[in-house]
Amino acid sequence: MGKAYQVKCTECNYEEKFFLGPGSNDANMTKEAKKDLRSGLYGEQAREFSILASYGKIQCQRTLYRCRQCGNLEPRIKMRIVTQTLHFSQPYFCSKCGKLMGQVRPSDIKKQHCPICGKPIQVVNISNWDIAPYPLK
Protein backbone atom coordinates (compact mmCIF):
# COMPACT_ATOMS: atom_id res chain seq x y z
CA MET A 1 0.00 0.00 0.00
CA GLY A 2 1.27 3.45 -0.90
CA LYS A 3 0.77 6.97 0.40
CA ALA A 4 -1.02 9.79 -1.41
CA TYR A 5 0.32 13.29 -0.74
CA GLN A 6 -1.93 16.23 -1.55
CA VAL A 7 0.10 19.44 -1.83
CA LYS A 8 -1.01 23.03 -2.28
CA CYS A 9 0.56 26.45 -2.75
CA THR A 10 -1.25 29.21 -0.86
CA GLU A 11 0.21 31.89 -3.13
CA CYS A 12 -0.81 30.74 -6.62
CA ASN A 13 -3.32 27.94 -5.96
CA TYR A 14 -1.08 25.21 -7.43
CA GLU A 15 -2.52 21.93 -6.18
CA GLU A 16 -1.56 18.34 -6.94
CA LYS A 17 -1.97 14.85 -5.50
CA PHE A 18 0.93 12.42 -5.78
CA PHE A 19 0.36 8.67 -5.37
CA LEU A 20 3.70 7.28 -4.18
CA GLY A 21 4.96 3.84 -3.18
CA PRO A 22 3.68 0.43 -4.27
CA GLY A 23 0.08 -0.48 -4.96
CA SER A 24 -1.85 -3.57 -6.00
CA ASN A 25 -2.66 -2.21 -9.46
CA ASP A 26 1.08 -1.79 -10.12
CA ALA A 27 1.74 -5.54 -9.83
CA ASN A 28 2.80 -5.85 -13.49
CA MET A 29 5.35 -3.01 -13.31
CA THR A 30 8.33 -5.30 -12.74
CA LYS A 31 7.39 -7.54 -15.66
CA GLU A 32 6.93 -4.51 -17.94
CA ALA A 33 10.17 -2.95 -16.66
CA LYS A 34 12.16 -6.06 -17.56
CA LYS A 35 10.64 -6.08 -21.06
CA ASP A 36 11.38 -2.36 -21.56
CA LEU A 37 14.96 -2.72 -20.29
CA ARG A 38 15.74 -5.67 -22.54
CA SER A 39 14.24 -3.90 -25.57
CA GLY A 40 16.69 -1.01 -25.14
CA LEU A 41 13.98 1.55 -24.31
CA TYR A 42 16.18 3.07 -21.56
CA GLY A 43 19.45 2.94 -23.49
CA GLU A 44 22.23 0.49 -24.13
CA GLN A 45 23.77 0.73 -20.66
CA ALA A 46 20.45 -0.14 -19.02
CA ARG A 47 19.87 -2.97 -21.51
CA GLU A 48 23.27 -4.49 -20.72
CA PHE A 49 22.68 -4.10 -17.01
CA SER A 50 19.29 -5.83 -17.32
CA ILE A 51 21.15 -8.94 -18.44
CA LEU A 52 23.06 -8.84 -15.15
CA ALA A 53 19.76 -8.31 -13.33
CA SER A 54 18.77 -11.87 -14.15
CA TYR A 55 21.07 -12.70 -11.21
CA GLY A 56 19.30 -10.18 -8.96
CA LYS A 57 15.94 -8.46 -8.89
CA ILE A 58 14.14 -5.40 -10.20
CA GLN A 59 12.30 -3.20 -7.74
CA CYS A 60 9.63 -0.77 -8.98
CA GLN A 61 7.54 1.80 -7.18
CA ARG A 62 6.03 5.24 -7.68
CA THR A 63 8.47 7.95 -6.59
CA LEU A 64 8.39 11.75 -6.67
CA TYR A 65 11.09 13.61 -8.61
CA ARG A 66 11.89 17.33 -8.85
CA CYS A 67 13.59 18.96 -11.82
CA ARG A 68 16.90 20.52 -10.83
CA GLN A 69 16.44 23.26 -13.41
CA CYS A 70 12.79 24.40 -13.49
CA GLY A 71 11.46 22.89 -10.24
CA ASN A 72 8.76 20.77 -11.89
CA LEU A 73 7.42 17.99 -9.63
CA GLU A 74 6.62 14.67 -11.32
CA PRO A 75 5.86 11.19 -10.04
CA ARG A 76 7.69 8.44 -11.93
CA ILE A 77 8.08 4.70 -11.69
CA LYS A 78 11.48 4.29 -10.07
CA MET A 79 13.17 1.21 -11.43
CA ARG A 80 16.05 -0.17 -9.41
CA ILE A 81 18.07 -3.21 -10.41
CA VAL A 82 19.82 -4.88 -7.50
CA THR A 83 22.35 -7.72 -7.59
CA GLN A 84 24.78 -8.86 -4.90
CA THR A 85 27.47 -6.48 -6.13
CA LEU A 86 25.70 -3.87 -8.29
CA HIS A 87 22.89 -1.33 -7.98
CA PHE A 88 21.44 0.57 -10.94
CA SER A 89 18.72 3.23 -11.04
CA GLN A 90 17.65 4.86 -14.27
CA PRO A 91 18.10 8.67 -14.39
CA TYR A 92 14.94 10.65 -15.11
CA PHE A 93 14.57 13.84 -17.11
CA CYS A 94 11.95 16.58 -16.82
CA SER A 95 9.02 16.43 -19.23
CA LYS A 96 8.94 20.25 -19.35
CA CYS A 97 12.57 21.31 -19.84
CA GLY A 98 14.46 18.04 -20.38
CA LYS A 99 16.94 18.54 -17.52
CA LEU A 100 17.95 15.93 -14.93
CA MET A 101 15.56 15.30 -12.05
CA GLY A 102 16.37 14.38 -8.46
CA GLN A 103 14.40 12.05 -6.22
CA VAL A 104 12.33 13.65 -3.44
CA ARG A 105 12.08 11.58 -0.27
CA PRO A 106 8.61 11.48 1.30
CA SER A 107 9.94 13.27 4.39
CA ASP A 108 11.15 16.12 2.16
CA ILE A 109 7.89 16.74 0.26
CA LYS A 110 6.90 19.40 2.81
CA LYS A 111 10.19 21.24 2.10
CA GLN A 112 9.54 21.63 -1.64
CA HIS A 113 8.72 24.86 -3.44
CA CYS A 114 5.90 25.50 -5.85
CA PRO A 115 6.94 24.73 -9.45
CA ILE A 116 4.88 27.72 -10.64
CA CYS A 117 5.66 30.62 -8.27
CA GLY A 118 8.58 29.28 -6.20
CA LYS A 119 6.91 29.78 -2.80
CA PRO A 120 6.89 26.92 -0.24
CA ILE A 121 4.15 24.34 -0.71
CA GLN A 122 2.12 22.75 2.05
CA VAL A 123 1.17 19.10 2.44
CA VAL A 124 -2.56 19.40 3.16
CA ASN A 125 -3.40 15.70 3.32
CA ILE A 126 -1.68 12.31 3.48
CA SER A 127 -3.72 9.18 2.89
CA ASN A 128 -3.19 5.50 2.10
CA TRP A 129 -3.95 4.06 -1.32
CA ASP A 130 -3.95 0.62 -2.82
CA ILE A 131 -5.26 1.33 -6.33
CA ALA A 132 -3.91 4.53 -7.89
CA PRO A 133 -4.93 6.26 -11.09
CA TYR A 134 -3.01 5.23 -14.18
CA PRO A 135 -1.14 6.70 -15.96
CA LEU A 136 0.89 8.27 -13.20
CA LYS A 137 -0.51 11.38 -11.60
pTM of the model as a whole: 0.81
The confidence band for 134, taking pLDDT boundaries of 50, 70 and 90, is: low
Question: Does pLDDT of 45 surpass 80?
Answer: no
98-109: per-residue pLDDT in tens? 999 999 999 999
Is 137 a residue whose pLDDT tops 50? no
Question: Per-residue DSSP letters for 54-103?
Answer: GGSEEEEEEEEEEETTT--EEEEEEEEEE-SS-EEE---B-TTT--BEEE
* Residue 29: predicted pLDDT: 66
How does residue 91 score in pLDDT terms, banded at 50, 70 and 90? confident
60-74 tens-digit pLDDT:
788 999 999 999 999
